C-alpha cells in the first residue's frame, strides 16, 4: 500500500526517544490511527491490533475514515483504485470498506 510499514515507526520512535533524551526533554509520541481507510482490510486491522498489543500500546482514540474533498484517500474511496500507480479501466480494484458492519469491525479491532 502507500503507507510505510510499522518498522518505519519503530525506527522513528527510536530516534525520537534518543534525541529527546539527548536534549533533556520529556516528550511523547501519540500515534494516530484511522480505521476503514481505503485499501485496508480486516486482516490489516487485526495485524495492527496485534502489533499494538505486542508493544503494550493502548489506543485512546480511533478515527474511522470519512471521505473529504481534495484528498488522495477520497479518490481511492470513490474509484477503488490507487491513484499513485498507473491506472486504466482494467486496473485492479482495491478493497474499500464501505458498509457499516465492516467499518465498525475495523474500528473495533483497535
Going from N- to C-terminal start, the domains of the chain cover: 1-27, 31-109
Mean pLDDT of 14-32: 93
**Among 32, 33, 40, 34, which Cα is nearest to 102's?**
40
Q: pLDDT-derived band of residue 109, with 50, 70 and 90 as boundaries?
A: very high
Indicate the range of 32-41, 46-55, 81-90 predicted with least confidence: 81-90
Tens digit of each residue's pLDDT (9 = 90 or more) over 59-105: 888 899 999 999 999 999 999 998 888 888 888 899 999 999 999 99
Contact between residue 51 and residue 78 where contact means Cβ atoms under 8 Å apart: no
Amino acid at each position: 500500500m502507500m503507507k510505510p510499514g510499522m518498522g518505519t515507526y519503530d525506527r522513528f520512535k527510536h530516534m525520537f526517544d534518543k534525541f529527546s533524551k539527548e536534549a533533556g526533554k520529556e516528550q511523547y509520541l501519540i500515534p494516530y490511527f484511522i480505521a476503514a481507510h481505503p485499501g485496508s482490510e480486516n486482516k490489516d486491522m487485526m495485524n495492527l491490533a496485534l502489533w499494538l498489543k505486542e508493544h503494550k500500546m493502548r489506543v485512546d482514540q480511533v478515527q474511522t475514515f470519512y471521505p473529504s474533498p481534495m484528498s488522495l484517500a477520497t479518490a481511492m474511496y470513490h474509484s477503488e483504485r490507487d491513484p499513485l500507480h498507473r491506472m486504466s479501466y482494467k486496473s485492479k480494484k482495491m478493497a474499500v470498506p464501505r458498509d457499516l458492519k465492516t467499518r465498525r469491525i475495523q474500528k473495533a479491532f483497535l
